[in-house]
Amino acid sequence: MTAVTSSRLSRLTIGLHWFIAIGFMALLVSGLIMENMDRGPAQFQLMNAHKSLGSLFFLVAAFRVGYRMLTGFPTELSNKPRWQASMAHGVHWVLLAATVLVPLSGIAMTLGNGFGYEVFGMTLVERGEPIVWLRDMGRAVHGAAPKVMIAVIVLHTVAAIRQQFVDGSLSRMLGR
């Protein structure tokens, strides 16, 4: 299975990139809205949707990480200075890792709370005793990591727009 040729990306690579990019940003925004809402039925509904869609997102992100491991990252379209190439590669790794670690920390927090784990109305784990270390670890990561990711996503987006003028790599990610 080949991910890319030097000038084109597979439809799977492009589809996964935009599903994950839009999904991650939507979950991030919904989390920030939830954080600033008063407790009540509306917040509870949004949290249920956040948990269900976040769990679905996790499955697709885990598939994507596996696909990347098998096929490697897309080849570069132009020869960047060494520091720029290393930075782009580092940022891609951080983005990829965050797409699984952020939802995993949300799942850890949910399981640790002991209120049960439901997705799309299906109970995956029944209510039980809280697991304090899991809840606290999940909460610490889930509270901080998405906010750090805002800066990383801004950096990645600015770099992608800048790079478009150098070698058209944004057009390639848009399937053109």
| Contact positions vs ligand HEM (CB under 6 A) | 13, 17, 20-21, 24-25, 27-28, 31-32, 34-35, 47, 50-51, 54-55, 57-58, 68, 73-74, 76, 92, 95-96, 98-99, 102-103, 106-107, 109-110, 142-143, 146, 153, 156-157, 160, 169-170, 172-173
The closest alpha carbon to 21, from 159, 156, 167, 119, belongs to: 156
Q: What is the DSSP string of 30-89?
A: HHHHHHTSPSSHHHHHHHHHHHHHHHHHHHHHHHHHHHHHHH-SPPPSS---HHHHHHHH
Cβ closer to ligand HEM: 97 or 129? Answer: 97
The closest alpha carbon to 8, from 77, 102, 78, 89, belongs to: 77
Within 10 angstroms of residue 39's Cβ, the number of other Cβ atoms is 8
Residue 7 CB, nearest approach to ligand HEM (Å): 11
Cβ closer to ligand HEM: 129 or 161? Answer: 161
If DSSP codes are grouped into helix, strand and coil, which group holds residue 8? coil
Cβ closer to ligand HEM: 50 or 136? Answer: 50
Residue 96 CB, nearest approach to ligand HEM (Å): 4
Cβ closer to ligand HEM: 96 or 134? Answer: 96
Residue 118 CB, nearest approach to ligand HEM (Å): 9
